[in-house]
Structure 1
Amino acid sequence: MKRVAAVDLGASSGRVMLGEVGDGVLNLTEIHRFWNGPVQLRDTLHWDILHLYHSMLEGLTQAGSVDSVGIDSWAVDYGLLDSAGHLLGNPIHYRDSRTDAVMEKVLETVSAEELYAITGLQQLPFNTIYQLAAEGLRKQAETLLMIPDLLGYWLTGEIGAERTNASTTQLYDVRAREWSSELARRIGLPMELLPPLREPGDVLGTLLPAVAEETGLAATTPVIAVGSHDTASSVVAVPAADERFAYISSGTWSLVGLELDAPVLSAEAREANFTNEGGVDGRIRFLRNVMGLWILQECQRIWGADDLPTLLRDAADAPPFAVLIDPDAPEFLAPGNMPRRIEEHCRASGQEPPQSQAATIRCVLESLALAYRRTLRQAQTIADRPVDVLHVIGGGSQNELLCQLTADACGLPVLAGPVEASALGNVLVQARALGEPLPDLGAMRALVRATHQLRRYEPQGKPADWDAAESRVFGTR
């Protein structure tokens, strides 16, 4: 039996989870949960990285003796180190406005077609390449580390870049599976800034003496690279029985897509804005980022509404398709008064805004289900991969109304769960690196199926109603 600590950092909260893995055993226990979110300092939105580091150490202290530690987090954001290994300022949040209009300037230097041919990455204004262009490299900067790599460096003193998160930067050659020296040269980025790449399952190193003393863990405890992009870890834990599946990693963001053996770099994929991100065991996560529960979370924050189950019950009784929005519209990206933005979006599209909290939630969830439907159908067509079942994993798998609407919209059975998919994927990769007999993703997923209860949602309603609703929001495709 292996006992490991999974540090799992989401865009709104972090947690340290204790995983136990053995023959027919996959247990997960939450040890320490802590806040994570944007911190506004003057005109810049930051992450509080020192709070995250301190909270991680608190969780590791509470976990007690473990065989290893692994870290996953959201993508694209980074810290810069100087030549002495000191952090040059708090990492900036991807929702910060500094990248506004930067993408267009970069595309004057390297075209969208060239970028996609090399990286296979979805064009998003907050991709690392655009953040770097917005920031301008500081003269003192010697090393760029993605968030999990930065925290791993502080635990071990070892520098490197895990591939799944590196693949989200738009500086990574998705076919060669290396940093792209061509792109770095074109945008004036020194290659020395990009650290050596690691595979999920590689050992970063063991705990620094000061870390071991503070946490009470043995100094020989290894820190293991996992699928450090949290979606890469989540997809490891998709409890699929064969290859004919799609997934939605549902949380603050919704990552909607397929798992493939090779990237799809066609013009059709680029024009549809699909991304080819690295996965564990060399797989490709062919997906599109869709706005997730962020809109709902911001509505709750503005309303001061903590009783989500009651809100969802009321939303389930609200009239269907009364009001619809495009959840990926740029006005929904930044923090702010989301109910007011929904009202303004509706008026601009010629609709009467929702008149209650329940109607607003119904609008948000139906609109998300429509975005999932559109994305999933495009993915199947572009990748020529038919799908029999849709797995919804992550925190959104607990939202029964959203899961049912997703099944209805996509016309597919939805299997919901596990909730803590990213932590489970983190734990499974660590356990394999420690010698547990989990030779491939199939074995890992079989263990998830055997140990975690899933909920099934069958499609209901009329497909023609969803066809009409999709046409209202996205036009005829």
Structure 2
Amino acid sequence: MTRFAAVDLGASSGRVMVGDVSASGVSLTEAHRFANEPVRVRDTLHWDVLSLYRGVLDGLAAAGPVDAIGIDSWAIDYGLIDAGGRLLGNPVHYRDARTDGVVTGIPDEKLYALTGLQKLSFNTIYQLLAEPLLPLADRMLLIPDLLAYWLTGKIGAEFTNASTTQLLDVGTGEWAGSLIGDLGLPARLFPPLRAPGTVIGPSSLGPEVIAVGSHDTASAVVGVPAGSPDFAYISCGTWSLVGVELDAPVLTEESRLANFTNEGGVDGTVRYLRNVMGLWLLQECQRAWRTDDLPGLLAAAASARPFAAVIDVDLPRFLAPDDMPARIAAEVGRELSRAETVRCVLDSLALAHRRTVRQACELSGSTAEVVHIVGGGARNELLCQLTADACERPVLAGPVEATALGNVLVQARAAGVLSGDLPALRGVLRETQQIRRYEPSGDPARWQELEDRLWG
């Protein structure tokens, strides 16, 4: 077995990548890419999951013969199926407003000690409490598990993605039964857990489906080509997932107040990180301006005056789809040109990266001699350089396709093509993937002044 299909679903597009693997390396080819366009029906924002499934099937057909299939996607969102295995409506998008004002009734301190999860208003726990279809549902399947079920007929929940729901016990690695009972959620909803590397079963198309790190960030962290354990990572796309890799969770009160999360990683690791709003702001600006000319926008931003305007990118007002340039202008208190708006987004995002890397190191005891940027943001040269300047550490950018590579590596190891632990898998990447290094420059005192101004 040497040829593996990685189904990678992001918040704005999906694709099927084919990884050809040998003991000396891995190469990727894109077989098919398709849009992931949410649909608003009356007052609710949905994922068009049947369109996504069609894109997956078309992609697997375009991929040609493969030995196995692995699926990853964004976290948190789910489909409900009834006792007959039928989907109960299109999954609701995490950016929908239905969780506004939803509370668990459980003290935040207790919830964090049990689940280790960052408090986000759209976590699965809040979505289920706002879910009107629960009485009809037999199982809750997160998006990769739902697609795997349609391909194989097998029901289960992959561990790394389950760990993002805020319904998993971070100590035991099992569903938090007492919490689920206290919330009044039906225990039947929560399927058996699967570890990454588990063979789920043969698909209707022939090849086996293998559980990978099905939260795309879990696969992306596998795809970080780190040469030592002393690193921070930024999986940079629509979101920036900023953190460090640990052997055990950090459950201190300081960690909770800093809103850091302890998510499950491949091989029993902990992804200690915080969600930062990411390139969503720039994507929404492009949508408002109706332009695909990202290189032109970035060139103009590189010539714009630095630090003319900075914002806290994680303010709730920036979460929902809307006129992002107008919201940014309102936040800074004046009109901005397109170049100024893009520079504001990138300066502010680099500043958020700085703050989050610093806090992750302080709270976990890590030092992070380098910062790895993987994902689409690794192509953004200005953001990579600004992040190196802000973090006062070298930035190693790439691979862009870290998520698909991590997906393929876990499949290949499960199939016996590769062996070894995470450092061994990452060594394969260092031999075969292009990585660009950015050295820090500029004035660290200026970055500290800006951080103090925004967050005190």
State the TM bucket, normalised to the shorter chain: over 0.9
**Paired residue for 1:160, among 131, 146, 156?**
156
**Paired residue for 2:324, among 330, 338, 357?**
338
Give 3-state SS (helix, strand or coil) of 1:473's partner. helix
Cα shift at 1:305: 1.6
Q: What are the residue-to-residue correspondences of 1:166-245 with 2, within 5 Å?
A: 166-208=162-204, 212=205, 219=206, 221-245=207-231
**Paired residue for 2:444, among 448, 457, 463?**
463
Cα shift at 1:437: 2.8
C-alpha contact (below 8 Å) 1:323/1:353 kept by paired residues = no
In the alignment, what sits opposite 1:24? 24
User: How much is the aligned-residue C-alpha RMSD, in angstroms?
Assistant: 0.8
Cα shift at 1:21: 0.6
C-alpha contact (below 8 Å) 1:247/1:392 kept by paired residues = yes
Deviation by residue 1:262-319 (Cα, 9 ceiling, x = unmatched): 0000101001000000000010000000000000000001101211111101101101
Q: Does 1:384 align with 2:365?
A: yes
The change in CA–CA distance for 1:189 and 1:137 in structure 2 (over 3 A counts) is farther
C-alpha contact (below 8 Å) 1:325/1:367 kept by paired residues = yes
2 CA distance for matches of 1:370 and 1:138? 41
2 CA distance for matches of 1:314 and 1:54? 39
2 CA distance for matches of 1:23 and 1:76? 34
Q: What are the residue-to-residue correspondences of 1:351-430 with 2, within 5 Å?
A: 352-354=334-336, 356-430=337-411
In the alignment, what sits opposite 1:150? 146
2 CA distance for matches of 1:471 and 1:272? 15
Give 3-state SS (helix, strand or coil) of 1:110's partner. coil
In the alignment, what sits opposite 1:441? 422
Give 3-state SS (helix, strand or coil) of 1:298's partner. helix
C-alpha contact (below 8 Å) 1:8/1:14 kept by paired residues = yes
Match for 1:86: what amino acid? Answer: R
The change in CA–CA distance for 1:137 and 1:188 in structure 2 (over 3 A counts) is farther
In the alignment, what sits opposite 2:115? 119
C-alpha contact (below 8 Å) 1:4/1:20 kept by paired residues = yes
Give 3-state SS (helix, strand or coil) of 2:33's partner. strand
Cα shift at 1:174: 1.0
Q: What are the residue-to-residue correspondences of 1:228-307 with 2, within 5 Å?
A: 228-307=214-293
C-alpha contact (below 8 Å) 2:241/2:273 kept by paired residues = yes
For structure 1, which runs of at least 5 residues remain unmatched after alignment? 213-218
Give 3-state SS (helix, strand or coil) of 2:76's partner. coil
Cα shift at 1:136: 3.8
1 CA distance for matches of 2:368 and 2:175? 32
Cα shift at 1:344: 1.3
Q: Percent identity?
A: 64
Cα shift at 1:438: 2.3
2 CA distance for matches of 1:326 and 1:386? 25
C-alpha contact (below 8 Å) 2:262/2:270 kept by paired residues = yes
In the alignment, what sits opposite 1:5? 5
In the alignment, what sits opposite 1:77? 77
2 CA distance for matches of 1:37 and 1:235? 26
In the alignment, what sits opposite 1:49? 49
2 CA distance for matches of 1:89 and 1:437? 40
Deviation by residue 1:407-457 (Cα, 9 ceiling, x = unmatched): 000000000000011000000000001002321101110000000010000
> Which shifted more, 271-280 or 16-25?
16-25
C-alpha contact (below 8 Å) 2:154/2:201 kept by paired residues = yes
Q: Does 1:310 align with 2:306?
A: no
2 CA distance for matches of 1:134 and 1:400? 41
Match for 1:120: what amino acid? Answer: G
> Which shifted more, 32-41 or 90-99?
32-41
C-alpha contact (below 8 Å) 1:202/1:433 kept by paired residues = yes
In the alignment, what sits opposite 2:65? 65
Cα shift at 1:137: 4.6
C-alpha contact (below 8 Å) 2:83/2:137 kept by paired residues = yes
2 CA distance for matches of 1:473 and 1:309? 29
2 CA distance for matches of 1:59 and 1:32? 5
Match for 1:146: what amino acid? Answer: L
C-alpha contact (below 8 Å) 2:220/2:374 kept by paired residues = yes
C-alpha contact (below 8 Å) 2:304/2:343 kept by paired residues = yes
Q: Does 1:99 align with 2:99?
A: yes
1 CA distance for matches of 2:165 and 2:449? 37
Match for 1:392: what amino acid? Answer: I
> Which shifted more, 130-139 or 457-466?
130-139
Match for 1:387: what amino acid? Answer: A
Match for 1:418: what amino acid? Answer: P
Match for 2:405: what amino acid? Answer: L
* Runs of 4+ that moved beyond 3 A: none
Give 3-state SS (helix, strand or coil) of 1:130's partner. helix
Match for 2:381: what amino acid? Answer: E
Match for 2:439: what amino acid? Answer: E
2 CA distance for matches of 1:202 and 1:75? 19
Cα shift at 1:357: 0.3
C-alpha contact (below 8 Å) 2:88/2:133 kept by paired residues = no
Give 3-state SS (helix, strand or coil) of 1:435's partner. coil
Give 3-state SS (helix, strand or coil) of 2:454's partner. helix
Give 3-state SS (helix, strand or coil) of 1:54's partner. helix
1 CA distance for matches of 2:434 and 2:81? 44
Q: Does 1:90 align with 2:71?
A: no
Give the TM-score of the pair, scaled to structure 2: 0.99
Cα shift at 1:25: 2.2
C-alpha contact (below 8 Å) 2:14/2:36 kept by paired residues = yes
2 CA distance for matches of 1:253 and 1:200? 23
2 CA distance for matches of 1:171 and 1:471? 35
C-alpha contact (below 8 Å) 1:249/1:394 kept by paired residues = yes
Give 3-state SS (helix, strand or coil) of 1:17's partner. strand
C-alpha contact (below 8 Å) 2:25/2:429 kept by paired residues = no
Aligned length: 456
C-alpha contact (below 8 Å) 2:212/2:219 kept by paired residues = yes
Deviation by residue 1:25-47 (Cα, 9 ceiling, x = unmatched): 20000000000132111110000
Give 3-state SS (helix, strand or coil) of 2:93's partner. coil
